[in-house]
C-alpha cells in the first residue's frame, strides 16, 4: 500500500488544546518504525509504502527557531510509546538563557529535533548524558515517583 501525507492533514485546531501553527514554515515528521526524521513544509507531500502486516506511526511537530540563536527545535516525545507526542504535557521556550523546557509524563527514550547539538540536557534539574544523531537529541527519561512527570531541559 502506498500513501501520501503532509502536515496539513492534521486537524491542528481540534480537541481540548488546539495548536496554533500560524506562521510555521517547517514541520518535523518522525517515523516511529524506521526511526527517521523528515523536515517538510506545510504542503510538502511525503510518500510512503507499507508492506502487508506492517505499519508506520508519524509524529508531526511544528519547528520553532530560538530567539537570538540560529537553532531550530521541535519536540517529538517518548518514542517507545504509541502516542509519542502524547507524553508531552508542557513546552516552554526560554529565550533569555537559550533553553527549552518540556514537561513529560512517562519513561523511556525521549527524542527532539534540534538543528544544533545542545550544550547540555537536564532531566528534573540534573544533567544527563545524551546522544545527538541526525539532528535528533536522544535522552533517557527515568520514572519519576509517584506522578510519573519529569521536566526535560535542553540548553543551547
How does pLDDT run across 36-60, given as a tens digit for each residue? 999 999 999 998 888 888 889 999 9
Which has the higher per-residue pLDDT, 92 or 70? Answer: 92
Residue 68 predicted with pLDDT over 80: no
Residue 123 predicted with pLDDT over 90: yes
User: Domain boundaries in the chain?
Assistant: 2-155
Burial of 35 (0-12, 13-18, 19+ CB in 10 A): middle
CA atoms within 13 A on the CB side of 62: 14
Which of 88, 91, 90, 152 lies closest to 126 in space, CA to CA? Answer: 152
Amino acid at each position: 500500500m502506498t500513501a501520501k501525507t503532509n502536515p496539513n492533514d492534521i486537524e491542528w485546531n481540534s480537541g481540548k488544546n488546539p495548536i496554533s501553527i500560524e506562521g510555521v514554515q517547517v514541520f518535523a515528521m518522525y517515523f516511529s518504525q524506521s526511526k527517521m526524521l523528515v523536515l517538510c513544509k506545510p504542503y510538502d507531500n511525503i510518500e510512503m509504502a507499507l508492506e502487508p502486516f506492517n505499519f508506520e506511526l508519524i509524529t508531526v511537530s511544528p519547528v520553532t527557531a530560538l530567539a537570538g540563536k540560529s537553532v531550530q527545535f521541535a519536540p517529538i516525545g517518548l518514542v517507545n510509546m504509541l502516542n509519542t507526542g502524547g507524553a508531552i504535557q508542557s513546552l516552554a521556550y526560554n529565550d533569555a538563557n537559550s533553553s527549552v523546557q518540556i514537561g513529560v509524563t512517562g519513561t523511556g527514550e525521549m527524542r527532539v529535533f534540534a538543528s544544533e547539538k545542545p550544550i547540555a540536557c537536564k532531566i528534573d534539574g540534573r544533567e544527563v548524558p545524551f546522544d545527538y544523531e541526525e539532528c535528533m537529541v536522544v535522552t533517557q527519561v527515568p520514572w519519576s515517583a509517584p506522578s510519573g512527570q519529569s521536566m526535560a531541559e535542553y540548553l543551547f
